[in-house]
Amino acid sequence: MRCYQCGKCTAGCVLASDMNYPPSYLMRLLQTGTRQNMDKVLASNSIWLCLNCENCLGRCPMEIDIPKMMDYLRTQAIKENKLHPDSKPIIAFHRSFLDSVRNTGRLYEIGLVLSYKFRTFNFLQDLAIAPSMYLKGKLHLLPEKIKDRRSMKRIFAQTIENAKTVNK
Amino acid sequence: MSKIGVFICHCGENISATVDVERVAREIGGMEGVAHAIDYKYMCSDPGQTFIKEAVKKYGLDGVVVGACSPRMHEPTFRRACAEAGLNPYLCEMANLREHCSWVHEKSEETTEKAIDLVKMMVEKVKKNKPLDSIKVPVTKRALVIGGGIAGIQASLDIANTGHKVILVERDPSIGGHMSQLSETFPTLDCSQCILTPRMVEVAQHPNIKLYTYAELESLEGFIGNFKAKIRLKAKSVNYSTCTGCGACIQKCPVKKIPSEFNAGLGTRTAIYVPFPQAVPNKPVIDRVNCNYYKRGACKICEKTCQVGSIEWDKEDEIITEEVGAVVLATGFDVKGTDFFPEYGYGQYKDVLTGLQFERLASASGPTFGEIRRPSDGAIPKKIVFIACAGSRDPAKGIPYCSKICCMYTAKHAMLYQHKVHDGESTVFYMDIRAGGKNYEEFVRRAIEEDTVNYVRGRVARVYEKNGKLIVKGVDTLLGGEQVEIEADMVVLATAGVANCGSEQLAQKLHVSYDPYHFFAEAHPKLKPVETNTAGIFLAGACQAPKDIPETVGMASGAAVKVAALFSNDELVREPVVAVVNRLAPPLYSTCVGCFMCETACPYNAIEHEEIKGRDGSLIRTIARVNQGLCQGCGTCVAFCRSKSIDIQGYTNEQVYAEVMSLLND
Amino acid sequence: MKIGFYPGCSLTGSSREYNESVVALAKALDIELVEIKDWNCCGATAAHVMNEELSLSLPARIMAMAEEQGLTEVVVPCAACYNRLKVTQHELEDENKRTRVIEILKLPYRGDLKIINVLQMLEAYGAENIKTRVTRPFAHKVACYYGCLLVRPHSILKFDRVEDPQSMDTLIKGIGGTTLDWAFKTECCGAGFSVSRTDLVAKLSGNILKDAADRSAEAVIVACPLCQSNLDMRRGAINKTLKNPIDIPVIYITQAIGLALGIGAKELGLKRHFVTVEL
Ligand SMILES: Cc1cc2nc3c(=O)[nH]c(=O)nc-3n(C[C@H](O)[C@H](O)[C@H](O)COP(=O)(O)OP(=O)(O)OC[C@H]3O[C@@H](n4cnc5c(N)ncnc54)[C@H](O)[C@@H]3O)c2cc1C
Ligand code: SF4
Ligand code: SF4
Ligand code: SF4
Ligand code: SF4
Ligand code: SF4
Ligand code: SF4
């Protein structure tokens, strides 16, 4: 790996201070190539907090694609089942999101939030803004569905379900 | 039938450990036309050479092949030995049995067979060799130095002091280059102007130096020892033979707001101007782009002011030709501006400066008379951040190399700042501190330990302005990547040193190579650092790569010695490996049909037109002729000639054909 | 002028006002939007994070449908969708990936659709008409917020300049507004963490709003529904993290221009914002 530890990625990362290891430190851990450090990386919250905002990539002198690396590390962490507690709500959200897309072809926001709440048992969250969202016409009570929903089933079956990375 | 002598060298064990040298000598000895073949432990040794000399005489050899190391190594040795024995040296060839065979193969039957083939090829070639004479060309003992920075100044003085004439061409109105812009210099902190100005004056007064300022090279023709340089003297609009340099015109010129190049844009100058008080020559030029008269046709205040009538409105650029024998390129470098950095504000923040701008602030002759003040509001910055490697070591920005000087000048800047602003706080963001050089590391340590400059290891991601402060978002990687945010009053970027603008075009005019970043390329990275790959053109200073003053001066003196060595000859001797167009007896004269395909092909402009005239002077034909001084023996023309009239001496089609056929005839 | 249109899920749900303003503005500028038939969700960050093939297949289906419909250029107002579509198109230049995705979709896919964002659409097809049709100059000092998805990765999107983009600023100046030079134009608002890590969104969006407020912006202008909802809908959570609550509204570029062209606030969906818009 070409990273020369200049730290510019960390200097500009909006969530570096919330991460167990800021991005440049993470790169160094990976660079050592040891299993021990890889485990540290996979079990860290850094990979889950990364927003893929690409501030780091945009400024890295060595053009190191940290966000892409994070994509890989997340997949790997799920595969090896080494998940930092911070990953729970994030994964739950993504799964609920994808469930909605799988079933309707589009995002059904009420469905998403309900399913998310069941996954996280966090029933109180966002209760405060839901009514005004409804009043402002921002929530559909019924999901919008695309016609060719079979294609959605097929796409999901051949990709994410095929990869068996998502075990509910 | 030919009488060839073949000498196979063991090269200690370098060759004999993998090649059966005795078998090689034995088998070659049996070849047709080989009169004598032996092997010996060290052919290049005195006894080895004696074997060759004696064999030439004893067997009346008309050709010699030495199977040994690379011809780069010992071809001159063996050719000299042959010449001493009375054989034309160009009848001696080498087969490279070391680099091309023993070093790259295992010991085996095939390796020996390959060695035999290599020698065989040379034997067949030598049979077709013709005696050649080396080429002699006269030397014009006058040097052209392009660029009047410290490199050009030093090279000019050194050459001039050997008694040879120098023509120094400088693009700007004054010589001095970047060194004239510097405040104090690392690692001694002596004043740059104070040590430079005497040398500038010496250049102006030296009887052997002819100085052309406000001038540029238009074209260069010719070859080592014999160049013709066309130089454009840009119109200064001031007659230097009458101008007294009183400066009255400058005082009165109403166009006063032009950003001063000398002050790196931090100060202003007038349209008629002398770039700085110590300029050499200390006489003004009119910047026609900004002058009211040239722009709108009215003003001429300077003319009215001038007591001696020196203003010349209608002068045009003048092109002069100078004949020189050698050229020293000393056009220096440039630095990236702050606008090169999106993350540091695209150059829109006034208090984000380049290192060069900081030099002007710190300089007694600068816009603030040496006080460190913010360009935006004139306040003295209490917190200052220096960012090292700005743009350098940054492949994403297209500059992967280290600019070499900025670690040192950044330490100097922080030190100067601490000396001038006692209650100030300075921080340097760096990746590595590169302080290799005599007293350099000690200098940096002094900045850190005695002047309490805060060194933080990490790059800065972003600088932005808020409420008159510059927010610097950096990191301390030595603390495991802790973010460091500083509210600074001024930010100084140690911006990358880059090739001077126009260096690519200049290189093309001179036929010298340049690297991917447009710095001129040296002929060999270790052993020929001041030579270019064009004979007679040398390099000095930062035009080859960013470097500091001591290194620049050393290199300039090196280039000067090369020029002096060249000028110590009245004639130059060159290998006769050049192209020739065949000549035949009348009425044929030559098989050349005068299509001049070779002329279009030749990268060195070596093909000339030769008119063949009858006795009465009438033109019979025009055919090609090779200027042996220009020809580099590249052979391009040979491939282009359809009538096979042009050939490279020593590597004729016939010789190469014989080599190849010796392999096929097995 | 006819152009393909991919609204995306947000625009039909929680960000209806963006859709309304895009449609109203397009109409006012004589741009006819042709919606892609039976479009699906682009998969957003969720697919991207969870599975690469899925994250390519979903946008690929959208583009394949548009190609089938004979569209050559599609405007994608949602910055997240725009980013996913552009990046997918780039990734699918790889032969192997393309073959695999076509196999999954069972649809032909060429990959030559021109994907543009709303700013590009306005620059290319609206600039002249905007200039002549301004009836109520937008005389406000605003902060143009681009977010990350609209401009990064620059090597693929090739849109505007990095760090300090200008296209939205230019549009605002064109309708009589003044724009701020500020620091958070392209810093991330927290994007997909709106529900899962509202705390982080509050922190990041709070930083953004604070800088805009410190420089006395009258409004923040956006071109992304994620940015808008984080800065607007999450204002309650944001203000809890700040010393002084911030009440500057966050509106879409299409709403700002719509106002300047005299389109009604209701038509532009301005009533749907959480933070009251009085401009
Ligand atoms: C901010 C800064 C601080 C520095 N501080 C120090 C220090 O403290 N100590 C130290 O040792 N070094 C220092 N240096 C390095 C020093 O400036 C260089 O080593 C030195 O200037 C190199 O000299 P040069 O003659 O090769 O090039 P330059 O100084 O660049 O001179 C080149 C000259 O050639 C002329 N020229 C260019 N193109 C043409 C052309 N086509 N035709 C004719 N003329 C041309 C230019 O006008 C110029 O006069 C510093 C550099 C910088 C940028
Ligand atoms: S910016 Fe790039 S090179 Fe620097 S530490 Fe981060 S990943 Fe490594
Ligand atoms: S992409 Fe991830 S690591 Fe990079 S700056 Fe954004 S949040 Fe930080
Ligand atoms: S003519 Fe030009 S140079 Fe002379 S005073 Fe006027 S502006 Fe200055
Ligand atoms: S006033 Fe005349 S003599 Fe004096 S500097 Fe100007 S041109 Fe030269
Ligand atoms: S000299 Fe120092 S500051 Fe300059 S590029 Fe090299 S390492 Fe960076
Ligand atoms: S050998 Fe090369 S340099 Fe010489 S004349 Fe031919 S093309 Fe020109």
Query: CATH number, domain at C159?
Result: 3.40.50.11810
Do C107 and C143 lie in one domain? The reply is no
Residue C123 lies in a domain: no
Q: Which atom of ligand 4 is nearest to the CA of B255?
A: 7
Per cent of chain A over pLDDT 90 is 60
Using the 8-state DSSP alphabet, how is residue C219 labeled? E
Q: Do B342 and C161 touch (CB under 8 A)?
A: yes
Do C112 and C190 lie in one domain? The reply is no
pLDDT in tens, B503-538: 999 999 999 999 999 999 999 899 999 999 888 999
- Shortest distance between the Cα of C78 and any Cα of chain B, in A, equals 26
Query: CATH number, domain at C76?
Result: 1.20.1050.140
Length of chain A: 168
Q: Do A10 and B481 touch (CB under 8 A)?
A: yes
Alpha-carbon separation of residue A82 from A72, A85, C226 (angstroms): 14, 10, 30
Q: Do C164 and B467 touch (CB under 8 A)?
A: no
What local confidence, expressed as pLDDT, does residue A66 receive?
96
pLDDT band at A124 (very low <50, low <70, confident <90, very high): low
pLDDT band at A47 (very low <50, low <70, confident <90, very high): very high
Do C111 and C188 lie in one domain? The reply is no
pLDDT in tens, A104-117: 998 888 778 778 87
Q: Which residue has the tokens 């063991």?
A: B10
Query: Any CB–CB contact under 8 A between A107 and chain C?
Result: yes
Cβ of A166: how many Cβ atoms within 10 Å? 17
pLDDT in tens, C227-269: 999 999 899 999 999 999 999 999 999 999 999 999 999 999 9
Set of chain C residues whose Cβ sits within 8 Å of the Cβ of A155:
54, 57-58, 61, 104-105
Q: Which atom of ligand 4 is nearest to the CA of B287?
A: 3
pLDDT band at B346 (very low <50, low <70, confident <90, very high): very high
Selecting from A7, A16, A63 the residue whose C-beta is nearest the C-beta of B459 gives: A7
The mean per-residue pLDDT over the stretch C14-20 comes to 91
Do C158 and C223 lie in one domain? The reply is yes
- The rounded Cα B362 to chain-centroid distance in angstroms is 32
Q: Is the pLDDT of residue A167 over 50?
A: no
Mark C102-113 as b/e (b = at least 16 C-beta within 10 Å): bebbebebeeeb
Residue C127 lies in a domain: no
Last residue of a domain, one of C84, C116, C148: C116
The residue type of B582 is N
Nearest CA to ligand 2 atom 6: A9
Selecting from C164, C211, C215 the residue whose C-beta is nearest the C-beta of B342 gives: C164
pLDDT in tens, C140-184: 999 999 999 999 999 899 999 989 999 999 999 999 999 999 999
Mark B94-103 as b/e (b = at least 16 C-beta within 10 Å): bbbbbeebbe
Residue C279 lies in a domain: no
Which of A125, A127, A151 is the best mutation test for C, with the most CBs of C within 10 A?
A: A151
Using CB atoms within 10 Å of the CB of residue B104, give its burial: 0 to 12 exposed, 13 to 18 middle, 19+ buried. Answer: exposed
Set of chain C residues whose Cβ sits within 8 Å of the Cβ of B464:
182-183
Q: Would you list which residues of chain A are within 8 Å, Cβ to Cβ, of chain B?
A: 4-12, 16-17, 21-25, 55, 59-63
Selecting from C161, C162, C183 the residue whose C-beta is nearest the C-beta of B464 gives: C183
Which residue out of B406, B412, B431 has the highest number of ligand 6 atoms within 8 Å of its CB and is therefore the one to mutate?
A: B406
Residue C49 lies in a domain: yes
Q: Which residue has the tokens 């000399």?
A: B53
Query: Any CB–CB contact under 8 A between C160 and chain B?
Result: no
For the Cβ of B204 lying below 6 angstroms from any atom of ligand 7, the answer is no
Q: Is the pLDDT of residue C14 over 80?
A: yes
Do C56 and C144 lie in one domain? The reply is no
User: Rounded CA gap, B558 and B542, in Å?
Assistant: 14
**Ligand 7: distance of its center to the CA of B511 in Å?**
14
pLDDT band at B546 (very low <50, low <70, confident <90, very high): very high
Per cent of chain B over pLDDT 70 is 100
Query: Any CB–CB contact under 8 A between C211 and chain B?
Result: yes
Q: Do C163 and B348 touch (CB under 8 A)?
A: no
Residue C30 lies in a domain: yes
The mean per-residue pLDDT over the stretch B627-644 comes to 90
Q: What is the value of ipTM here, to two decimals?
A: 0.89
What domains appear along chain B, each with residue ranges and CATH number?
Answer: 4-132 (3.40.50), 142-234+317-332+500-571 (3.50.50.60), 248-305 (no CATH), 334-498 (3.50.50.60), 579-648 (3.30.70.3270)
Q: Is the pLDDT of residue A166 over 50?
A: no
pLDDT in tens, B265-288: 999 999 999 999 999 999 999 999
In this complex, which chains have at least 3 CB pairs below 8 Å with chain A? Answer: B, C
The mean per-residue pLDDT over the stretch C202-209 comes to 95
Q: Which atom of ligand 6 is nearest to the CA of B392?
A: 5
Helix H or strand E encompassing B58: helix B46-59
Which residue out of B174, B236, B238, B272 has the highest number of ligand 5 atoms within 8 Å of its CB and is therefore the one to mutate?
A: B238
Set of chain B residues whose Cβ sits within 8 Å of the Cβ of A9:
461
Residue C55 lies in a domain: yes
pTM as predicted: 0.85
Do C104 and C151 lie in one domain? The reply is no
From B141-145, B159-163, C15-19, the region with the lowest mean pLDDT: C15-19
Selecting from C57, C148, C163 the residue whose C-beta is nearest the C-beta of A53 gives: C148
In this complex, which chains have at least 3 CB pairs below 8 Å with chain C? Answer: A, B
User: Rounded CA gap, B459 and A10, in Å?
Assistant: 9
* Structure token digits, residue C124: 């290319």
Half-sphere exposure of B45 (CA within 13 A, CB side): 10
Per cent of chain A over pLDDT 70 is 95
Average pLDDT, chain B: 96
Give the SS3 label for residue B485: strand
Which of A99, A101, A117 is the best mutation test for C, with the most CBs of C within 10 A?
A: A101
Q: What is the DSSP string of A66-104?
A: HHHHHHHHHHHHHHTT---TTHHHHHHHHHHHHHHHHHH
- The rounded Cα A5 to chain-centroid distance in angstroms is 25
Query: Any CB–CB contact under 8 A between B473 and chain A?
Result: yes
- Least Cα distance to C180 among B639, B348, A159 occurs for B348
Using CB atoms within 10 Å of the CB of residue B489, give its burial: 0 to 12 exposed, 13 to 18 middle, 19+ buried. Answer: buried
Cis amide linkage into residue B71, ω under 30° from 0: no
Residue C125 lies in a domain: no
Alpha-carbon separation of residue C234 from B559, C14, C191, C230 (angstroms): 69, 13, 12, 5
What local confidence, expressed as pLDDT, does residue A123 receive?
67
pLDDT band at B27 (very low <50, low <70, confident <90, very high): very high
What local confidence, expressed as pLDDT, does residue A164 receive?
56
Selecting from C162, C214, C215 the residue whose C-beta is nearest the C-beta of B342 gives: C162
The 3-class SS string of B220-282 reads EEEECCEEEEEEEECCCCECCCCCCCCCHHHHHCCCCCEECCCCCCCCEECCEECCCCCCCCC
**Ligand 4: distance of its center to the CA of B256 in Å?**
10
Q: Is the pLDDT of residue A163 over 90?
A: no
Q: Do A16 and B395 touch (CB under 8 A)?
A: no
Do C141 and C112 lie in one domain? The reply is no
pLDDT band at A122 (very low <50, low <70, confident <90, very high): confident
pLDDT in tens, B458-489: 999 999 999 999 999 999 999 999 999 999 99
Query: Any CB–CB contact under 8 A between B465 and chain C?
Result: yes
Q: Is the pLDDT of residue B614 over 50?
A: yes
CB distance B328 to B145 below 8 Å: yes
What local confidence, expressed as pLDDT, does residue B210 receive?
98
Do C39 and C111 lie in one domain? The reply is yes
* Count of domains observed in chain C: 2
Q: Which atom of ligand 1 is nearest to the CA of B174?
A: 49
Do C111 and C149 lie in one domain? The reply is no
Sheet containing strand B326-329, strands side by side: B209-212, B165-169, B142-146, B326-329, B537-539
CB pairs under 8 A between B and C: 24
Residue C129 lies in a domain: no
Q: Do C12 and A158 touch (CB under 8 A)?
A: no
Query: Any CB–CB contact under 8 A between A105 and chain C?
Result: yes
Q: Which ligand is in closest contact with the Cα of C197?
A: 3
Per cent of chain B over pLDDT 90 is 92
Nearest CA to ligand 6 atom 2: B407
Which of A62, A133, A159 is the best mutation test for C, with the most CBs of C within 10 A?
A: A159
Which residues line the pocket of ligand 2, CB cutoff 6 A? A 3-9, 23-24, 27, 60-62, 64, 66
Selecting from C188, C196, C273 the residue whose C-beta is nearest the C-beta of A89 gives: C196
Average pLDDT, chain C: 93
**Ligand 4: distance of its center to the CA of B252 in Å?**
8
CB distance B119 to B28 below 8 Å: yes
Set of chain A residues whose Cβ sits within 8 Å of the Cβ of B482:
22
Query: Any CB–CB contact under 8 A between C162 and chain B?
Result: yes
Residue of A nearest to B343 (CA): A59
Do C142 and C189 lie in one domain? The reply is yes
* Structure token digits, residue C119: 């700013």
Half-sphere exposure of C92 (CA within 13 A, CB side): 29
Do C105 and C147 lie in one domain? The reply is no
Do C104 and C181 lie in one domain? The reply is no
A150 contacts: CB under 8 Å, gap ≥ 6: none
pLDDT in tens, B356-378: 999 999 999 999 999 999 999 99
The mean per-residue pLDDT over the stretch A73-90 comes to 92
Last residue of a domain, one of C86, C116, C146: C116
User: Rounded CA gap, B190 and B441, in Å?
Assistant: 17
Domain ranges, residue C161: 135-272
Set of chain A residues whose Cβ sits within 8 Å of the Cβ of B403:
none
